[in-house]
Amino acid sequence: MRYTTIKKRYSAALKGKYAMGAFNFCDSDIAMAIFNAARKLKAPIIMETSSGEMHHLHPQVARGIADGLNRIENNIFILHLDHGKTLENVKEAIKAGYDSVHFDGSALPYRQNLDLTRKAALLAHKHGLWIEGELGHVGGSSTLHKDTSYSSLEIIKTDPQQARDFVQKTGIDSLASNIGNVHGIWKGLPDIDFRLLAEIRKHIHIPLVLHGGSGIAPFQIRKAISLGISKINVNSEMRVAFSTALKKSLAKKDTFVPTEYLPEAISAVQKVVDGKIRLFKSANRL
């Protein structure tokens, strides 16, 4: 997908007060579940692989899946690298033909994050890709944490004035910030700092991204969108839905044929994506 088209989609989301869902996949079954939900609801979405998922699947294969789906419904989604931690990750995504990349240097000291993100942005723009940067570390991991609460986590929030400096000096197209959000599903609810989000929005005029969308309550999601969030990442809920449904399917079916036990897992993922698209108010936006 062309850079100008991606830019229009982010602009439309901000203007229309909705958010594009960004959904991770690591195989063709999960990709098809995401695609089917988006196609049914006529929603612009982002399909993404983290650096770990990209290496499990191989970036060229991820691009191949995307190309196959595009033959069914052209230009419904952006293929995005999620949490690329090195410049090599970015180069791999560029070589494979991804549309967009996320360079995540947020765990590094500020100056090092700024320098590497600037280099990643130059690489991405040279090849016509959109690039997302990150400031304020979004920690956690994309799974279900049954015995640990959000309150036990160390959260490094984004400084609004530093964010303005970061955006100006790196040349990124969108910014992932931390306003109390973390990856994964934990006990309780995250303490989302909406005043901080509003302050960041005052200082930053590029699209804002919210990671850790699986663990954030619907009322918090809607509030974040009203304050300028244009993209929301979802992974943990899909993983839990797929794994739970697959285990149940395998337990009740005496079969070794994947096409007989996978449909229930695929359907469970599609249901999650369908619900998120509706929550994000991005249905019927194409």
Query: Do strands 229-234 and 77-84 pair parallel, antiparallel, or not at all (unpaired)?
Result: unpaired
CA dist list (Å): 117 to 204, 214, 233: 17, 26, 20
CA dist list (Å): 247 to 103, 186, 239, 243: 34, 22, 12, 6
Q: HSE of 114 in the Cβ direction (CA atoms, 13 Å)?
A: 11
Selecting among 67, 82, 159, 274, the annotated active-site residue is: 82
Please, what is the angle between helix 194-203 and helix 218-226, to 10°? 20
DSSP letter for 151, please: G
Spatial distance between the Cα atoms of 133 and 175, rounded to a whole number of angstroms: 5
DSSP letters along 199-235, please? HHHHH--S-EEE--GGGS-HHHHHHHHHTTEEEEEE-
Q: Is 82 a catalytic residue?
A: yes
Spatial distance between the Cα atoms of 158 and 210, rounded to a whole number of angstroms: 12
Spatial distance between the Cα atoms of 183 and 107, rounded to a whole number of angstroms: 14
Residues known to be catalytic: 82
